[in-house]
Structure 1
Amino acid sequence: MRIQQYCKHCNKELQGRTDKKYCNLHCKSAFQYQQAQEQPERFYNRVDNQLRLNRKLLKEFNKGGKVTVRAEVLKELGFNSNFFTHYWKNTKGDVYLFVYEYGFIKRTENNSEKYVLIQWQDYMEK
Structure 2
Amino acid sequence: MEPTSAQKQEKPTCNYCGKQVYGREGKKYCNVDCKNNFNSRIRSELRSKENEFFPKAFSQIKLNYRILHTYKEQLEQGNGLYMEIKELEDLGFDPDFCTNAYIDYREKLWKSCNNYYWQDQGGTIRIKYIQGRFDRHQ
Quote the residue 1:89 is aligned against. 104
Name segments (4+ residues, structure 1) moved above 4 Å: none
Alpha-carbon shift at residue 27 of structure 1 (Å)? 2.1
Q: Name the TM-score, length of structure 2 as normaliser.
A: 0.54
Quote the residue 2:136 is aligned against. none
Quote the residue 1:60 is aligned against. 69
Distance, in Å, in 2 between the alignment partners of 1:90 and 1:58 is 27
Contact conserved, 2:13 with 2:20, CA < 8 A, in 1?
yes
> Could you list the runs of 5+ residues in structure 1 that have no partner in the other structure?
none
Distance, in Å, in 2 between the alignment partners of 1:88 and 1:54 is 24
Structure number, greater radius of gyration: 2
Shift of the 89–54 alpha-carbon distance from structure 1 to 2, 3 Å rule, reads farther
Quote the residue 1:7 is aligned against. 14
How many pairs align?
A: 111
Within the alignment, does 1:104 sit opposite 2:118 as a pair? yes
Higher helix share: 2
Q: Partner letter of residue 84 of structure 1?
A: T
Distance, in Å, in 1 between the alignment partners of 2:13 and 2:121 is 62
> Could you list the runs of 5+ residues in structure 2 that have no partner in the other structure?
1-7, 133-138
SS at match of 1:97: strand
Report the identity percentage. 17
What do the CA deviations read for 1:59-117 (whole angstroms, capped 9, x no partner)? 53331323435123134xxx5624432324364x53211233221233555xxxx6443
Shift of the 60–27 alpha-carbon distance from structure 1 to 2, 3 Å rule, reads farther
Higher strand share: 1
Contact conserved, 2:65 with 2:113, CA < 8 A, in 1?
no
Q: Name the TM-score, length of structure 1 as normaliser.
A: 0.57
Choose between structure 1 and 2 for higher RCO, CA contacts under 8 A separated by at least 6 residues: 1
Contact conserved, 1:50 with 1:83, CA < 8 A, in 2?
no
User: CA RMSD, aligned part only?
Assistant: 3.8
Distance, in Å, in 2 between the alignment partners of 1:62 and 1:35 is 42
